[in-house]
Amino acid sequence: MGLISEFKTFINRGNVMDLAVGVIIGGAFATITKSLTEDLIMPVVGYIFGGADFSRYFVRLGPVPETFSGNPGSYADLKAAGVAMFGWGEFLTVLVNFLILAFIIFLIVRAVNKLTQKEEVKQEAAPPPPTPEDVLLLREIRDSLKK
């Protein structure tokens, strides 16, 4: 029973729940970033380079098997057939996804840092609280006793 109670204590800690929430939000954030990249940014980049589908940019390194029945110009079909390829278009897509995600994370961290700095400045700039009345009275008594 000791192991089970330790496990319950571990699961009920706040940091485990925070981690679970972070993983769930991270998954949703990854979906948003993927859509932003694939549906908005990559089509523009693809249009500039002459095509909307970057996955079609690859260099075939190995021979196509004789039993191959797919499209010889399709990266996905060739990859499924086990043909060795240098898929620089897919890599470029993943790289752009990473850069967008890194930039968004940078903006979030930057915004949070600014908020925490403003809060620290507010705390530092706040005037000290007024001295309580009883302390002032005790100081007056002390000063009059010294005289």
Q: What is the pTM of this model?
A: 0.50
Structure tokens at 141: 């008594």
23: pLDDT strictly greater than 80: yes
Structure tokens at 114: 């600014």
Integer Cα distance of 60 and 47 in angstroms: 23
pLDDT, one tens digit per residue, over 30-67 is 888 788 877 887 778 777 766 656 777 888 888 888 88
**Mean local confidence (pLDDT), 71-86:** 86
Least reliable range by pLDDT among 8-12, 87-91, 113-117: 8-12
Q: What is the pLDDT of residue 110?
A: 92
Torsion, CA 119, CA 123, CA 126, CA 127, rounded to 10: 180
